[in-house]
Amino acid sequence: MTTNHSDHSHGKDVLKELSPLHRSLRKAIPDVYQGFGALSSAAFADGALERKTKELIALAIGVVEGCDGCVASHAQAAIRAGATRQEAAEAIGVTFLMHGGPATIHGARAYAAVCEFADAMDADENPA
């Protein structure tokens, strides 16, 4: 099910743009990145909340913060963790309540990113 929301990628292109920037900074402060990685692993580990739910929370926070990199990263991670488009849409819907109008803009971008990663996963699972 391909969902073309725009010609601009809010998922893969954002991650592709940020990747070399992160690599450069990681070389300058490897211990900080290692610590952040450990924190991330601990925060997203399955517990009372499963990883999918935690990724949807992170996606929603990315929407509220207006962070395109956060949105792209957590949209991809949420899909990989088994989130559906509808689950993501509902998580994004909560951001409208909590953050108002700006969330409708970043939320639409977030949903486009979710659909982009879901479409890619669908294509991998259902080769043409």
Please tell me the class of the 12-125 domain: mainly alpha
Q: Is 81 buried (19+), middle (13-18) or exposed (0-12) by CB count in 10 A?
A: middle
Q: Say what the pLDDT of residue 55 is.
A: 98
Q: Say what the pLDDT of residue 8 is.
A: 65
Task: Please answer whether residues 71 and 116 qualify as being in contact, where contact means their C-beta atoms are separated by less than 8 angstroms.
Answer: no
This prediction has a pTM of 0.86
Helix or strand (DSSP H, E) at 84: none
Q: Where are the alpha helices (DSSP H) in 1-128?
A: 12-28, 30-44, 51-65, 68-80, 85-99, 101-125
Per-residue pLDDT of the chain (128 residues; tens, 9 = 90+): 444 444 567 888 898 999 899 899 999 999 999 999 999 999 999 999 999 999 999 999 999 999 999 999 999 999 999 999 999 999 999 999 999 999 999 999 999 999 999 999 999 876 44
User: Residue 83, SS3?
Assistant: coil
Q: Say what the pLDDT of residue 5 is.
A: 44
